[in-house]
Amino acid sequence: MRRRLIAKKPFEFSARVTLQLGRESISSSTVAISELIKNSYDADAENITIDFHLRQHSISTLIIEDDGYGMNAETLIDHWLKIGTDNKSLKERSATKRRVLTGAKGLGRLGIDRLCKKLVLYTKTEDMNTAIQLNLDWKQFENTSRSLSEIEHEIFEVELPIKDKYGEVFLDEKSSGTRMILIGLKDHWDDKFLSTLENELRLLISPFQAENEFSIVLKTNLNGQFDEKALSSEKMLTAARWKIKASVDEEGLVSVCYTNNKKQLDINQEGLPWNLWVKNSGEKPLFGPLDFEFYYFVQDTTDLNKLNLRVKDLRGFMGLNQGVRIYRDHFRVRPYGEPTGKGDWLDLGLRKVASPGGVSQPGWRIGPNQILGSIIISRETNAVLDDQANREGLVENEAFFQLRTFVLKIVETFELLVQKDAAGNRQTDLSDELAEILIKNNKKVEEVIEDLKRSVSKTSHKNKTKKKQLKPEQIVANRLKELESLRAKQAEAERRYLEALQEEKKQLKHQKNTLSNLASIGILTISFGHEVRQHTGLAFNGASRTLSHLKSLDNQDGQLTKPIKFIEIVKKSTQYVDKFSRFALANIKPDKRRQNKICIPEVFEYVFEMFATTLDKMKVETKISLLTEAAQYNVFAFEIDWESIVINFMTNSIWAIEKESDVTKQRKIEVNISESESEIFINYKDSGIGLEQGTEESIFLPMQSGKRDRIGNSVGTGMGLAIVKTHVEDHMKGTIKAIAHSDIGGAEFSITIPKSERK
């Protein structure tokens, strides 16, 4: 095959590429303006002015001006006019202030096409005695077959100072910066649109950090009406009920401080190793150092009145700014924290819908409209948390999922603290409080009525003194005011009592629904057990006969070896399923639901035998150690309670051992049973990944699970250990506690039962 070289050609870009990269890839005009402000930040600007000159019936204009280091002609031509330049990728930090550069793809300036029809740009660096002017008409890129390089733009050298109808700029050689005049705005910038831009700009830069900050001033001139404001949003943060600050340092150590602003109370957790804080995620996080801070708001007029704010103000603010946002080098990374769509990246809304109960109910979840937070990262130390190509979020790699897990763990711990705080506030019996208020108010009402009678009686007689007396209608009016005041106090007490009753009703309904669901699952399991036993019996008999027949045949050539092996697996698996079916059906026997003499070690042995196939497959060694003979550990209890306790321990251990990343670690489950004169002690531990640090108490709460999926969400029912705690403490009058890590590596549980329960 012969060939002949006919040409060598580079890729050519159509002029329309700029439109696709500009107006068609940047989601909104506010995003386009944000990209331009980022360029000013990267240019070490300290002051940015955004000045709208709006006209209803003529051309509107936007001027964006900064005092950064500006550009000379060479920089303008080689970098600003070059699409996708790697200038910022190579430098990483700004020239003077050493700011970490926020832009890296060199596409932000193309968003100007989304904003206007024409651009006039003035720029100069310090000590230049002239400025550079660039004129750009975006219409040149429309409806043309020309390539991108064929379209040229005029560049001028302009004498100083520059004065026009929009003001003065570059008054002397020492001045520097960039001024962009966007002529012929494409959007209709009405009050609503400007308000949207204003709120976006308020949180474009993190309100939680002062380092490297710069001011943004927004000006509007609408038909001769001027408005000017410096943007800030920090005032609202002081209205929060709780403030939480957390960090991960270079060594992977986690520190958290939970502050209750109302009670002036701090709860600190400092220097916790990453592998104890989040299990099964390595010794250190894949992401770099970061700071996380969030505020929890409640619609309480007491908190808001201190700042002269209304509930309406708070709702409006949270409606726009709710959620947890991510800031890289003090600039916001979209879409995290936006009110809709992918903004709820922690799924706070879904968590709230799944558990909609009040704050005092088990499993309470914070809603996305109650939290305002920020995560501060740096591109320099968190390069692994990189932008997606479309600038609409971070790449969802393992580091991102670990970041999400870290934030959710902080939020979950906070939710437990709020529940405890709410429970503590409700220790007062509101029914007694209401009765006391009613008795007190009724007594006052009787006193007012008697006083009123006496006052009216006195006015019926002529007063011989010269002192001026109130008229009867005035006396009655005053007493009626007192009665109205007492009635208002009584109504408030009744309202509080009614709220308490409604909250208690919700809790009872929630518990009833949970128990009803569990009962339904139990009935379904029993029905499943009946059906399965019939079919496993048929399968077992069929497998046994087939196996006997195959073994009776001549197998000298070895062709029957694999079929025999497969049938043996089927037979063994059928026995395994049948065993669990018998176990499920055994739980409905009447003697399981009566208190009898139960031998605790025998229950452990029975459950271990039920899980023998799984344990053998996983190569898990089980050991039961008794201080004295087994007969000494008989208790008078429900057998089903003890089986439930051991099964919950076992299922958690199997999951934890499977998640243990150290494959060389010996897999163990150990049970130690001992006694004193008055108590029996059961100690259960495994060699799995253990519990996350700080969850030793919360793990027993309903709806609280220590299991997480890859992206950080809690998985599992969250009911297992809550049921165990109920059996031990309510049914047996004992105690149970958890230890995050035992001497063999995994979680450890200690149960203490009074001997008085034995008969």
Do 744 and 665 contact (CB within 8 A), yes or no? Answer: no
719, two tokens: 């009911």
Q: Which amino acid is at 577?
A: V
CB 340 within 8 A of CB 323: no
Topology alike, domains 17-232 and 595-757: yes
**Does the pLDDT value for residue 375 go beyond 50?**
yes
Query: Which carries the bigger pLDDT value, residue 513 or residue 190?
Result: 190
Distance CA 111, CA 437 (A): 66
Indicate the length of the chain as a whole number: 759
Where helices occur in 59-181 by DSSP H, the ranges are: 73-75, 87-91, 112-115
Q: What pLDDT band is residue 228 in, cutting at 50, 70 and 90?
A: very high
pTM of the model: 0.59
Residues 448, 441: Cα–Cα separation, whole Å = 10
Outline where 559-682 has alpha helix (H): 561-586, 600-610, 612-618, 639-659
Neighbouring-strand partners of residue 259: 243, 266
Query: Which helix (H) or strand (E) covers residue 354, if one does?
Result: helix 348-354
Is the pLDDT at 436 greater than 80? The verdict is no
Q: Distance between CA 344 and CA 342 in Å, rounded?
A: 5
Task: Give yes or no for a contact between 128 and 75, defined as CB atoms under 8 angstroms apart.
Answer: no
The average pLDDT across 284-303 equals 88
Q: What pLDDT does residue 758 have?
A: 44
Tokens representing 230 are 């410096």
- How does pLDDT run across 653-701, given as a tens digit for each residue? 998 898 887 777 899 999 999 988 888 999 999 999 888 888 888 888 7
Coil, helix or strand at residue 636: strand
* CB neighbour list of residue 62: distance below 8 Å, 6 or more residues apart: 50, 51, 52, 53, 115, 116, 181, 182, 185
Q: Which residues pair with 294 in a beta bridge?
A: 244, 373
Cα–Cα distances (Å) from 176 to 98, 154, 339, in that order, read 18, 21, 38
Which residue in the block uniquely carries the two structure tokens 């831009």? 197
Please name every residue paired with 715 in a beta bridge, in sequence order, or none if there are none.
707
Are 197 and 73 a contacting pair, CB within 8 Å? no
Tell me the fold of 17-232: Heat Shock Protein 90 (3.30.565)
DSSP state of 704: -
Calpha distance 445→438 (Å, rounded): 10
Report domain extents, the chain.
17-232, 236-425, 430-456+470-566, 595-757
Contacts made by residues 345-354, CB under 8 angstroms, sequence distance 24+: 345/404, 346/404, 346/407, 346/408, 346/411, 347/713, 348/323, 348/411
pLDDT tens digit sequence for 33-55: 988 888 898 888 989 999 999 98
pLDDT for the residue numbered 212? 47
Strands 668-675 and 621-626: parallel
pLDDT at residue 479, rounded to an integer: 67
- pLDDT digits over 453-488, tens only? 566 555 555 444 545 566 666 766 776 677 677 667
Total Cβ atoms within 10 A of residue 475:
18
pLDDT tens, 312-362? 777 767 776 788 988 888 777 878 887 666 778 999 988 888 888 778 777
Residue 153 corresponds to which tokens in the numbers above? 């733009």
pLDDT of residue 735: 93
First-last CA distance in the chain: 98
Q: Which amino acid belongs to residue 407?
A: V
The model's pLDDT over 58-84, given as tens digits with 9 standing for 90+, comes to 899 999 999 999 999 999 998 888 877
User: Residue 365, exposed/middle/buried by CB under 10 A (0-12, 13-18, 19+)?
Assistant: buried
Q: Which fold has domain 595-757?
A: Heat Shock Protein 90 (3.30.565)
Buried (b) or exposed (e) across 647-669, using 16+ Cβ within 10 A? bbbbebbbebbeebeeeeeebbb
- Determine which of 10-24, 433-447, 509-523, 536-550 has the lowest per-residue pLDDT on average: 433-447
Torsion of Cα atoms, 42 then 46 then 50 then 51, to 10°:
-140
d(CA 391, CA 401): 18
704-720 average pLDDT score: 72
Q: What is the Rg, in whole angstroms, of the alpha carbon atoms belonging to the chain?
A: 37
Alpha-helical segments (H) within 587-638: 600-610, 612-618
